[in-house]
Structure 1
Amino acid sequence: MQHLITGLRRGAEGVAAAMLAAMFATFIAQIAARYLFNFPVGWTVELCLTLWLWLVLWTCAFCLKETDHVKFDLIYSAARPARRRIFAMIAAASIVIGLLVALPDSWGYVSFYHIKKSATLRIPLDRIFIIYIVFCVALIARYGYGLYRLLRGEFPPEAPLVPGEEI
C-alpha cells in the first residue's frame, strides 16, 4: 500500500512540476513577445493565471504533507498527547464537515460556469474551476482518513511532542 501511495505522490508531483514548467515557459513567451517582438499577447496572462490556480490547488491537495501546511499551534504544541489527539480530531472533523456542507453549492457554482468562456483562450470556465472540486474531494478524503486513524487510537506521527513526554 505504501508503494502505491509513494507512486501516486510522485505522479502528482510530476504533474505539478509540468504545470510549473508550462507556466514558466508561458511567462518567458509573454516577455519575449512584448519586449523582443513588440507584440504583446493576452493569452499568456490568462494561461499563467489558470496554471497558477491549478498549481496551487493541485499541490495542496496531492503533494503537500500535513507538516508542510502553515499552522498556528501554540495551544496544540503545549498540550499533552491525549489533548492533542482531541484537538486533531476536532480539526479533522471540522474540515471534513465544512467541505462536505459546502460541496453541493460549490459544485453548483462551478457547473454553472459551463455557459461562460474565458476571455482570450475561450476555455469553458467550468473546466478551469473544476480543480476546486478536485481539491475539496481530496481534502475530504485525506482528513476523513486522518479522522478515522485518530478514532482508532493512532496518534498522528507529525504531531510534535513536548520533550520528556511519551505517548
Structure 2
Amino acid sequence: MKIIKKIDDNFEELLLMLLLAAMAMVMGVQVVARYVFNYSLTWSEELTRYMFVWSAFLSISYCTKKQISIKIEQIVSMLPTKLHAVFKIIEKAVMLVFFVYMIKYAYNFVQASVLSGQISPACRIPMYFIQVAPLVGFILTIIRLIQGLVFEFKVLVSGN
C-alpha cells in the first residue's frame, strides 16, 4: 500500500523531472557537438520538442493534483468552508466533464496516427508515441479530478 501511495503522490513529478533532465541533457549534447566538434545532431531538436509536448500534457495532471490553476482564489478562500468545498466541487465537475469530453477526440487523434503509420523525420519514432500524450494527460487529469472531488465531498460532509 505504501508503494501505491508513493506512486500516487509522486508520479507526475517524477515523469516531469525525468523529461526535464532528458531535455537538458539532449540539448547540452547538441551544444557540445555543435561548438566543440563542429557537428550538428539532426535528431536533438525533434526529440526535445517531443519531450516538451509530453511534459506539457503531463503538467495538466500535475497542476490539477496540486490545485494550481488560474482562478479567483482570493474570493474563494474568503468563503466559509462548506461553501468553499461546494465551489471546488463545481469547478472540478466542470473540468471533469471537459476532460471526459476531450478523451474521445484524443483517442480519435491517436487512432488516426496509428492507422497512418507516420514516423518522425529525424528520430524515426512512430508519431503515435508522441500523439498519445494528450490522451495520457487527459486520463491522468481525470483521475486527479476524481480524487479531488472525493476529497472535497469529504470536506463538505465533515465541515472541516
**Paired AA for residue 33 in structure 2:** A
Alignment RMSD (CA, Å) = 2.5
**Mind listing any 5+ residue stretches in structure 1 that lack a counterpart?**
156-165
Quote how far apart the aligned CAs of 1:113 are. 1.6
TM-score by length of 2: 0.81
* Bigger helix fraction: 2
TM-score by length of 1: 0.78
Count of residue pairs brought into register by the alignment: 155
In the alignment, structure 1 residue 118 sits paired with structure 2 residue 117: no
Corresponding residue for residue 137 of structure 1 = 139
Corresponding residue for residue 9 of structure 1 = 9
Runs of 4+ in 1 over 6 A off after TM superposition: none
Quote how far apart the aligned CAs of 1:41 are. 2.1
Q: What whole-Å deviation, never above 9, does each CA across 1:114-154 have from its counterpart, x for those lacking one?
A: 22221211212111121211111111111123223333x42
Quote how far apart the aligned CAs of 1:40 are. 1.6
Structure 2 counterparts to residues 1-167 of structure 1, below 5 A: 1=1, 4-10=4-10, 12-61=12-61, 65-67=65-67, 69-72=68-71, 73-114=73-114, 115=116, 116-151=118-153, 153-155=154-156, 167=160
Q: What whole-Å deviation, never above 9, does each CA across 1:19-67 have from its counterpart, x for those lacking one?
A: 2222111101111121112222220001111112223333442587424
8 A Cα contact 1:9 1:62, kept in partner = no
8 A Cα contact 2:110 2:132, kept in partner = yes
Determine the C-alpha separation between the residues in 1 that align with 2:78 and 2:7.
Answer: 36
Say if 1:101 and 1:43 are closer, same or farther in 2 by CA, change over 3 A: same
Q: Which has the higher contact order (CA 8 A, sep 6+)?
A: 2
Q: What whole-Å deviation, never above 9, does each CA across 1:64-100 have from its counterpart, x for those lacking one?
A: 7424x13321321222222211110111101111111
